[in-house]
Amino acid sequence: MEAAVARETDRPGSEAMPTNRADRAPVLLVECEDRSGLVHAITGVLLRHGANVVGNQEFVDPGARRFFMRTEFVGVGDPGAVGREVASLLPPGAKVRLTRPEPKRIVVLATREHHCLADLLVRHSFGEMNARIAGVASNHEALAPFVRRFDVPFAHFPTDGMSREEHESRVADWIDSLAPDYVVLAKYMRVLGPAFVARYPSRILNIHHSFLPAFAGARPYHQAFARGVKVIGATAHFVTDELDAGPIIVQQVVPVDHTRSAEALARAGRDVEQFALAQALRLVLEDRVFLCGNRTVIFD
């Protein structure tokens, strides 16, 4: 009876999918110098192991002469054997990885702005990310009550009377105690020093509130206003030694016009910041991002 009523009036909106994808298929990630026959050799290994390939993408960067391949497969009892066998067939220097089935671990650094952090906490609390947020840290306390609503540990690292090196060293010790795979800068408004960056090579993601390389550095929305641009944007990228110059993962833009003040640009940009960071993080956590020099190869 109840079901009948429900069927009559319910919008069958149950297109929503189970968001916590616990049983991830193993993913084989290959990266090496390009040469003939790589796809044939790798698919041969998968075939011999009886793998059922559910997704496969490959790319050759012609300039770098490098080969990249990402293969999701099921039906193999010992995926590790696939990885070892593939590695044995590849040129020297090849990188072969098999992803773990369990979620990755991340820590998030923020300052005072909440929107990117809040978006990650919401996705996390509904199991939408292939990751556990092991903790959130900030150089301010403003976000502490909000983070705690989500039962995620919050750490406050004030900068008072401290050198940058000392501050970063404390933050890094905290990070290391949590053993994350990635460090996510969700509008962390401090420039990181080289020692900190070197500690997490290609493992720090940042969201910069401009369309890089335009408006690197401080106050990009004010720069954008002054330049009179008609589009603003956000860039999610890996952090390297050079400020705002690391490999770009996702960029998103939004059109604007002369009626927007610098503050209104900042407001308009928040949604794309949040979206770009979330999307970049998803790509990274699903092992879809390869590095090729300072460029990214992304299999989505």
Q: Minimum distance from CB of 137 to a copy of itself (Å)?
A: 16
**How many angstroms separate the CA atoms of 96 and 82, rounded?**
10
Confirm or reject binding of residue 105 to a copy of itself (CB under 8 A).
no
Amino acid identity of residue 239, one-letter, is V
Q: Which is nearer to a copy of itself, 6 or 81 (CB)?
A: 6
Confirm or reject binding of residue 108 to a copy of itself (CB under 8 A).
no
Confirm or reject binding of residue 156 to a copy of itself (CB under 8 A).
no
Site for a copy of itself in 163-192 (CB under 8 A): 163-164, 167, 187, 189-191
> What is the DSSP-derived secondary structure letter of residue 240?
-
Binding mask 54-83 toward a copy of itself (x if CB under 8 A, else -) reads --x-xx-xxx--------------------
Q: Which is nearer to a copy of itself, 7 or 179 (CB)?
A: 7
Answer whether 130's CB lies under 8 Å from 285's CB: yes
Confirm or reject binding of residue 93 to a copy of itself (CB under 8 A).
no
> Which residue among the candidates 10, 176, 244, 257 is catalytic per the annotation?
244
Structure tokens belonging to residue 265: 């640009």
Q: Using the rule CB under 8 A, which residue among 91, 194, 218, 242 binds a copy of itself?
A: 218
Q: Using the rule CB under 8 A, which residue among 175, 266, 283, 285 binds a copy of itself?
A: 266
Nearest to 33, CA basis, from 82, 95, 84: 95
Confirm or reject binding of residue 222 to a copy of itself (CB under 8 A).
yes
**How many angstroms separate the CA atoms of 284 and 161, rounded?**
36
At a CB cut-off of 8 Å and minimum separation 6, what does 210 contact?
216, 220, 221, 223, 224, 232, 233, 234, 235
Confirm or reject binding of residue 91 to a copy of itself (CB under 8 A).
no
Amino acid identity of residue 45, one-letter, is V
Q: Which is nearer to a copy of itself, 99 or 210 (CB)?
A: 210
Q: Annotated catalytic, 257?
A: no
Choices 78-86, 95-103, 170-178, 266-274 (CB under 8 A): range interacting with a copy of itself: 266-274
**How many angstroms separate the CA atoms of 137 and 77, rounded?**
40
Residue 20 has a CB neighbour count (10 Å cut-off) of: 12
Phi, psi dihedrals of residue 91, rounded to the nearest 5°? -65, 160
Please state whether the peptide bond connecting residue 101 to the residue before it is cis, i.e. omega within 30 degrees of 0.
no
Confirm or reject binding of residue 44 to a copy of itself (CB under 8 A).
yes
Q: Which long-range contacts (CB under 8 A, 24 or more apart) does 4-10 make?
A: none
Q: Using the rule CB under 8 A, which residue among 125, 169, 172, 181 binds a copy of itself?
A: 125
Q: Using the rule CB under 8 A, which residue among 132, 275, 281, 288 binds a copy of itself?
A: 275
Residues serving a catalytic function are 244
